[in-house]
Structure 1
Amino acid sequence: MNKSTISGVAFTFGLAAVSFILSLLPGLSVIGPLAVAILSAIIYRHFFGYPDAYKKGIQFSAKILLRTAIVLFGLKLNITIIFQEGLPLLAKDFIVILFSIGSMVLLARLFKAEKQLSFLLGIGTGICGASAIAAISPIVKGKEEETALSVAIISLVGTAFAIGYTLIRPFLHLDVTAYGTWAGLSLHEIGHVALAGNPAGEDGLGMALLAKLGRVFLLVPVSLFLVWLMSRKDKDAAKEIVFPWFLLGFIFMSLFGSFINGRYLEIPPDVLKGISTLTTFILTMAMAGLGLSVSLADLKTKAVKPMLLLFLTSILLSGLTYMML
């Protein structure tokens, strides 16, 4: 790493640290550090401009650190639980992914919204929010700006829906297990699922996370399918498609956490918690790097319509998954 790269990484580190602190404040704690980092970076660029001297380091954070966080994120996926208790949910999770992507793509065509941005929002809605968008974006050759915008939009919309779920839960004729399943099948991020599922107690939250983990599990086959689809769609561009090797790291970490840890060696819970926090912080640095690629003018012109379409898709998805219970 040269001095410029190190300075740029340090810059995103500072933005991430500030975002972490701000995310502890009332109101901002609901949307979480990732969305705060995106918004903070966008605001910084608006008032102070893009820091060109740190460009290499910022891009390092937006790309390399982003993929590193996804690899570490694999530790949160316990495959054994999915296969033991969640197989029936996988079929529903698959339907959720198809519906989310299909709805966003169709609505984007009907209302002439940004196609790539809408597709990434469909991916994030169907699978696991920002992490899925970050994994899929390089496969479909998404721009950094599109990735940042889609992450910001899905964080905000997902938070609104998670809060809405907690508000209407007392009025729903659902037991805690059914409510948890509904939240896990329909909400965007794991954090959103945890927020909405927590009021239903341990049983409701456990079921919510199980349903959500099934969608996270499907990230890998969906990614590999898109690699194959992109290569078939444009054979000349197939040579330019870089296989998402970091997904193999994601799979390895998932297998490690599922089959090695606890059987052949024991990672202390405090260490696992520390790794989880580190993963979130690295992802926050990546979001800061992505956010710096977005201008407020672009946010106004490109994000409003996809955000409204995401609201509509999310409402339809909530209705569909409610009927699937």
Structure 2
Amino acid sequence: MQNVQSNPGPQKQPSPLIKWLGGIAFTFLIALLGYLLAMVPGFSRVGQMACAIVLAVLYRQFFGYPEVIRPGIAFSQKRLLRAAIILYGLKLNIDTVLSDGLGLLARDAIVIVFAIFVTIWLAKLFKADRSISLLLGIGTGVCGAAAIASVSPILKSKEKDTAIGVGIIALMGTVFAIVYTILRPILPLDSMDYGVWAGSTLHEVAHVALAGAPAGDSALAIALLAKLGRVFLLVPLCFILIAIMKRKSNSNEADGSKIEFPWFLVGFIIVSILGTYVIGPVIPVSSNVLDFVDSLTTWVLTAAMTGLGLNVSLSDLRSRALRPLAAMTVTSILLSVVFYFTV
């Protein structure tokens, strides 16, 4: 009598909810590993976000993209990213910028224009990828990863381009911040001028804090004020980019593409207004709560960047990132040198 083998049939797939929750949990797990790696001496200066992106890229190369939990990863890299940008609005004190930083604001506008146009020019000279270079120019001029994440949907950048840009800006911004701290004792600048220089030219808020703190509280305060002006200018820059992209879309209607209004920027503005005029002045909130929200913002942004990092392959980095990196590095050096002589 023959034994008849039973057909196991198709394997049961996880439910959509499990895929969604699993993907979100996975991005937060990589964010946690990035946080732990950032506690290791040496990696601490690179930061949690850059470490998490590197881990996500390495995971993709060795294990492939986790297709089963793609819905949750996609939610992190899109929805959580916008939520993080909205929460980032709490870092912007509008009243401080408008009352104390109007002079710095004009300087910041020149910095942004300089960084974007020089990066684009160098990208053409180096024959670098235009999309990544533009993101890096905006990140260099405004506020690093947050700026790149804000403009990428407006520019319709590919997710892997956004991830590459964020990784480069986080790494190089850290390098420049360390160089600034090394140069500070030998530069013929008083602490206030040094603070203006650092706040006007370094990439992320964290980089400004890293470089400004050794010069003292006053230098750090003016450095952060100069940096806040650049964050403030992110909003008008985004609306300028929207107008440019709509004009390009109208001139080429054949592609049928439309520019979606970035409603998360409205949330960013609302949260900034609440943080400036309501939370604190009207509704007392303890510093512990504000610190928690700040940490939450970092975690959510890191989880979102993890999702982006999973879309990056090392072949993309080799073939597309080196020349934009060179253009961004030269731009950052020129930015530091030129604006050093204007403080």
The residue that corresponds to 2:269 in the other structure is: 251
Note the residue ranges of structure 2 that are not aligned, 5 or more in a row: 1-15
Tell me which amino acid in the other structure corresponds to 1:149. Answer: I
Change in Cα spacing, 1:259 to 1:39, as seen in structure 2 (3 Å) is same
Match of 2:153 among 108, 113, 138: 138
The residue that corresponds to 1:183 in the other structure is: 198
Tell me which amino acid in the other structure corresponds to 1:291. Answer: G
Tell me which amino acid in the other structure corresponds to 1:263. Answer: P
Q: Is the 8 A contact 1:128 1:190 kept in 2?
A: yes
The residue that corresponds to 2:12 in the other structure is: none
Residue 51 (str. 1) matches residue 66 (str. 2):
yes
| 3-state SS of paired residue (1:4) | helix
Q: Following superposition of structure 1 onto structure 2, how do residues 278-297 of structure 1 map, counting pairs within 5 Å?
A: 278-297=296-315
Shift of 1:238: 7.9
Please list the CA deviations of residues 254-290 of structure 1 after superposition, one character each: whole Å capped at 9, or x if unmatched: 0001011222211111000000000000001011101
Match of 1:27 among 42, 47, 50: 42
| 3-state SS of paired residue (2:172) | helix
Q: Following superposition of structure 1 onto structure 2, how do residues 269-280 of structure 1 map, counting pairs within 5 Å?
A: 269-280=287-298
Please list the CA deviations of residues 233-263 of structure 1 after superposition, one character each: whole Å capped at 9, or x if unmatched: 1213686211010000000010001011222
Match of 2:186 among 168, 171, 182: 171
The residue that corresponds to 1:7 in the other structure is: 22
Find runs of 4+ consecutive structure 1 residues off by over 3 angstroms.
none
Match of 1:123 among 138, 142, 154: 138
Please list the CA deviations of residues 70-112 of structure 1 after superposition, one character each: whole Å capped at 9, or x if unmatched: 0000011001111111000011100000000001111111111
Match of 1:199 among 210, 214, 221: 214
Write the distance in 2 (CA, Å) between the matches of 1:227 and 1:5.
31
Tell me which amino acid in the other structure corresponds to 2:291. Answer: K
Tell me which amino acid in the other structure corresponds to 1:99. Answer: F
Please list the CA deviations of residues 183-218 of structure 1 after superposition, one character each: whole Å capped at 9, or x if unmatched: 000000001100000100100100110000000000
Rg (Cα) greater in structure: 2
Shift of 1:2: 2.3
Tell me which amino acid in the other structure corresponds to 1:323. Answer: F
| 3-state SS of paired residue (2:206) | helix
Write the distance in 2 (CA, Å) between the matches of 1:148 and 1:193.
22
Write the distance in 2 (CA, Å) between the matches of 1:287 and 1:239.
26
Residue 265 (str. 1) matches residue 283 (str. 2):
yes
Shift of 1:297: 1.2
Note the residue ranges of structure 1 that are not aligned, 5 or more in a row: none
Q: Is the 8 A contact 1:230 1:238 kept in 2?
A: no
Write the distance in 1 (CA, Å) between the matches of 2:89 and 2:319.
35
| 3-state SS of paired residue (2:155) | coil
The residue that corresponds to 1:65 in the other structure is: 80
The residue that corresponds to 1:111 in the other structure is: 126
Q: Following superposition of structure 1 onto structure 2, how do residues 307-318 of structure 1 map, counting pairs within 5 Å?
A: 307-318=325-336
Residue 232 (str. 1) matches residue 250 (str. 2):
no
| 3-state SS of paired residue (2:154) | coil
The residue that corresponds to 2:13 in the other structure is: none
The residue that corresponds to 2:32 in the other structure is: 17
Residue 220 (str. 1) matches residue 235 (str. 2):
yes
The residue that corresponds to 2:320 in the other structure is: 302
